[in-house]
């Protein structure tokens, strides 16, 4: 936000009875408990925070502004967006007024626009024009960016399989419930938090310095994901290159990488190990052998410990991906905002083309029936609800700090509430729509091979790099359809990769901007450094043992650590910073306060869902197995250390903040849970709302 509002924040007139009424109606300003400052041994704590030097200096400032604004009561309230009358104001000179219930306090001058000659003027810095922080060139740039990040490869290779596995259309019931009560409120929180403070995921925790480690945790998780996620995108580049041929290399056996078990007849995928038919079990498809033996060369490695040298073909492909990412990010949102017009829209066009082609294939209707076939009894299975919760939280992308980062480049009064609803609706619809695209081809493969559809349905890499390419290879004009499909995967991956790296770059640049300015370290150079380090570490995943390391990174980079990041973020904002403060921030930006539904979700429901998912994930933690290779204990221990390295930043930074603060233990705690802006304005006393019961029970 701007420094304009902070300079006159929280002024009080001890002689105004109306102000006392206002204080009682706003929990943020009522009955503050104070803690003596170590710099003033004679300061006396007061019960209401009045009488300080800051109050005396502003005693004569009595002009107040009263806003008659509506309040959002939930999803379908008619007052969910500001009405035209919401901008009507009444100026009262020489008197102070109280606010209506649920509205922002008129005494909080930090919430007031500029007044010039009795007229209302808008502070330019509110819309991002009064500071040097860049903003999105167009509103559509921001929307496409957050949609592009939320809609990623998992929407294509995971959601359709989960829907089929967990009762077809019935799976949408737990999925939507988890979305509405779990992930979407936290998504709204991230957007509002970033847009109001106009800072990255680390510096934004000036609202509660004790939780600054949550920002470092989110940045590390986003960076860890770039070590392997961009390699997956590199695979798509390699497949695109191989698709420019008259005959796709995975259409037939007889290539130098094929084995005697290769067969073009009906066969299961590599994860189908429960079949009792040994003749079927021993067969492998050309597409499977192309991916495992030609692309990954996993057959040349004996395990996680046996890596070998990087494959130069994949090195070039991954380098191309990182080069595209650098060219998209080195100018910040001004450059990435243009790239997403292609990367965020192309997947929908290509998915539609693939669907129109697929529905004409034999067996396509059977595939759609398998996809949507309802099984109500699945709702009694707890694993269905766990799968729904995990898929929702990972799909929406809460906890990476990306949505917060993107929102920090918005104009101050942008309606992020509407953006939240629109993005989550598009994300869920895309997942559901992509399921049709996948299963019409799976139905076609099952029909063609004469096997049940559960013999070809799978999730993860195997679906998009083995099963789907095999289906495309049987179509007339197969190279064209292959290029189209893998280009879609490329665009799906790129905008998600851009979001993760932007979170890292913006987070560190905002937090250490003083040093970057002093050293004249430009964003272009810093972006190159971050991307280069990610590229170098990612090289371990293009070795002959890269299949094992990819699975290891995928398991531990953003598993439980991401859920912990989202949980701690919710606790830090809703409980320590306080719902009253957060709702006032949203009221200042949007002109309406969040309804009871959102406040209950932020404080209770969403954290409860996250705790339940984390507990179930830990309790059901299965051994790490890839291609019948069981990872050794030391690899698992190393993985957990890697996963917890990001979460460990939360207690480490919290201890550092407490150690750095001065005073007694109570005074130190008071300082690290009080917003830095408020702390700077209080000279002799530290006014601590968090020490009062009303701060914790407010909903």
Is 176 known to sit in a ligand binding site? no
Whether 533 contacts 340, CB under 8 Å: no
Is 342 known to sit in a ligand binding site? no
Q: What confidence score (pLDDT) does residue 149 get?
A: 95
Q: Report the predicted TM-score, pTM, of the whole model to 2 decimal places.
A: 0.81
For 489-557, give the DSSP string: HHHHHHHHHHHHHHHHHHHHHHHTHHHHHHTT--HHHHHHHHHHHHHHHHGGGGBTTHHHHHHHHHHHS
* pLDDT, mean of residues 502-519: 94
pLDDT tens digits for range 184-232: 999 999 999 999 999 999 999 999 999 999 999 999 999 999 999 999 9
604: confidence class by pLDDT, cuts 50, 70, 90? very high
* pLDDT, mean of residues 499-519: 94
Q: What is the dihedral of CA 124, 126, 131, 132, to 10 degrees?
A: -110
- Say yes or no to pLDDT of 5 above 70: no
- Say yes or no to pLDDT of 298 above 70: yes
Is 152 known to sit in a ligand binding site? no
- Stretch among 280-284, 657-661, 675-679 having the lowest mean pLDDT: 280-284
Is 495 known to sit in a ligand binding site? yes
- Say yes or no to pLDDT of 584 above 50: yes
- Stretch among 30-34, 174-178, 382-386 having the lowest mean pLDDT: 30-34
Pull the structure tokens for residue 536.
Answer: 């170098």
Q: What confidence score (pLDDT) does residue 265 get?
A: 64
Residue 629's Cβ-count burial label (10 Å; 0-12, 13-18, 19+) is: middle
- Cβ density class 132-169: b for 16+ within 10 Å, e for less: eeebbeeeebbbbbbbbbbbbbbbbbbbbbbbbbbbbe
Is 496 known to sit in a ligand binding site? yes
Matching residue, tokens 């991307």: 531
- Say yes or no to pLDDT of 68 above 70: no
Is 58 known to sit in a ligand binding site? no
Domain spans of the chain, in order of start: 3-130, 139-651
What span, in angstroms and rounded, lies between the C-alpha atoms of 603 and 611? 13
Whether 197 contacts 408, CB under 8 Å: yes
- Say yes or no to pLDDT of 270 above 60: no
Question: Where is pLDDT greater, at 491 or 105?
Answer: 491
pLDDT tens digits for range 356-369: 999 999 999 998 98
- Say yes or no to pLDDT of 85 above 50: no
Secondary structure in 3-state letters for 284-309: ECHHHHHHHHHHCCHHHCCCCCCCCC
Q: What confidence score (pLDDT) does residue 46 get?
A: 39
Is 615 known to sit in a ligand binding site? no
Is 150 known to sit in a ligand binding site? yes
CATH 3.40.50.150 fits 139-651, yes or no: no
* pLDDT, mean of residues 576-600: 96
Whether 387 contacts 170, CB under 8 Å: no
Pull the structure tokens for residue 461.
Answer: 């890499």
What span, in angstroms and rounded, lies between the C-alpha atoms of 195 and 406? 8
Residues sharing a CB contact under 8 Å with residue 21, sequence separation 6 or more, in sequence order: 98
Is 585 known to sit in a ligand binding site? no
Residue 14 main-chain phi, psi, to 5 deg:
-65, -15
Q: What confidence score (pLDDT) does residue 538 get?
A: 96
pLDDT tens digits for range 310-337: 999 999 999 999 999 999 999 999 899 9
Whether 386 contacts 177, CB under 8 Å: no
57: confidence class by pLDDT, cuts 50, 70, 90? very low
Whole-number average pLDDT of the chain: 81
How many Cβ atoms from other residues are within 10 Å of residue 340's Cβ? Answer: 26
What span, in angstroms and rounded, lies between the C-alpha atoms of 344 and 66? 42
Q: What is the largest CA-CA distance in the chain?
A: 93
């Amino acid at each position: 936000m701007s420094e304009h509002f902070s300079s006159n924040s929280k002024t009080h007139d001890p002689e105004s009875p109306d102000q006392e009424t206002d204080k009682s109606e706003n929990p943020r300003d009522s009955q503050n408990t104070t803690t003596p400052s170590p710099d003033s041994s004679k300061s006396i704590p007061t019960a209401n925070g009045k009488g300080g030097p800051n109050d005396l200096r502003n005693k004569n400032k009595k002009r107040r502004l009263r806003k008659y604004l509506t309040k959002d009561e939930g999803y379908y309230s008619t007052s969910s967006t500001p009405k035209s009358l919401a901008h009507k104001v009444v100026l009262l000179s020489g008197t102070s007024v109280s606010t209506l219930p649920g509205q922002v306090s008129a005494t909080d001058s930090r919430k007031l626009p500029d007044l010039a000659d009795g007229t209302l003027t808008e502070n330019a810095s509110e819309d991002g024009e009064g500071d040097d922080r860049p903003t999105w060139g167009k509103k559509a740039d921001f929307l496409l960016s957050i949609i592009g990040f939320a809609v990623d490869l998992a929407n294509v290779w995971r959601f359709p399989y989960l829907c089929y596995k967990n009762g077809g259309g019935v799976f949408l019931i737990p999925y939507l419930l988890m979305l509405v009560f779990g992930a979407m409120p936290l998504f709204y929180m991230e957007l509002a938090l970033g847009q109001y403070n106009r800072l990255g995921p680390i510096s934004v925790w000036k609202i509660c310095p004790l939780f600054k480690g949550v920002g470092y945790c989110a940045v590390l998780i986003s960076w860890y994901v770039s070590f392997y996620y961009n390699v997956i995108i590199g695979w798509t580049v390699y497949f695109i290159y191989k698709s420019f041929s008259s005959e796709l290399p995975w259409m037939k056996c007889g290539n130098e990488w094929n084995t005697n078990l290769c067969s073009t007849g009906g066969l299961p995928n590599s994860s189908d190990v429960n079949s009792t038919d040994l003749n079927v079990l021993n067969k492998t498809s050309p597409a499977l052998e192309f991916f495992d033996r030609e692309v990954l060369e996993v057959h040349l490695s004996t395990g996680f410990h046996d890596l070998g040298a990087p494959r130069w073909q994949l090195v070039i492909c991954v380098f191309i991906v990182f080069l595209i990412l650098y060219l998209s990010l080195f100018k910040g949102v001004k450059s990435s905002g243009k790239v997403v017009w292609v990367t965020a829209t192309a997947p929908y066009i290509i998915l539609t083309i693939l669907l129109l082609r697929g529905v004409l294939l034999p067996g396509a209707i059977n595939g759609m029936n398998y996809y949507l076939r309802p099984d109500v009894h699945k709702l009694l299975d707890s694993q269905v609800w766990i799968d729904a919760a995990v898929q929702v939280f990972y799909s929406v992308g809460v906890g990476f700090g990306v949505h917060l980062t993107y929102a920090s480049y918005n104009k101050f009064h942008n309606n992020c509430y509407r953006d939240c609803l629109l993005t989550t609706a598009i994300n869920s619809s895309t997942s559901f729509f992509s399921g049709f695209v996948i299963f019409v081809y799976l139905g076609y493969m099952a029909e063609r091979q004469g096997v049940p559809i559960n013999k070809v349905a799978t999730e993860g890499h195997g679906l998009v790099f083995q099963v789907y390419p095999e289906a495309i290879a049987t179509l007339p004009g197969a190279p064209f359809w292959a290029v189209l499909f893998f280009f879609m995967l490329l665009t799906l991956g790129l905008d998600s990769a851009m979001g993760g790296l932007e979170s890292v770059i913006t987070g560190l640049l905002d937090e250490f901007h003083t040093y970057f300015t002093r050293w004249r370290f430009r964003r272009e150079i810093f972006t190159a450094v971050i991307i280069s380090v990610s590229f170098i570490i990612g090289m371990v995943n293009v070795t002959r043992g890269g299949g094992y390391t990819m699975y290891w990174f995928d398991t531990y980079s953003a598993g439980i650590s991401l859920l912990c990041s989202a949980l701690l973020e919710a606790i830090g904002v809703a409980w320590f910073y306080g719902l009253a403060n957060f709702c006032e921030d949203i009221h200042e930006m949007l002109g309406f306060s969040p309804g009871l539904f959102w406040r209950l979700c932020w404080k209770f429901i969403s954290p409860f869902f996250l705790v339940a998912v984390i507990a179930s994930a830990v309790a059901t933690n299965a051994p790490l197995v890839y291609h019948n290779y069981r990872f050794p204990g030391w690899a698992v221990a190393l993985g957990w250390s890697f996963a917890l390295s990001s979460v460990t930043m939360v207690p480490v930074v919290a201890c550092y903040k407490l150690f750095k603060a001065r005073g007694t233990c109570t005074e130190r705690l008071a300082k690290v849970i009080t917003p830095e802006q408020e702390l700077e304005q209080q000279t002799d006393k530290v006014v601590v709302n968090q020490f009062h019961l009303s701060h914790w029970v407010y909903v």
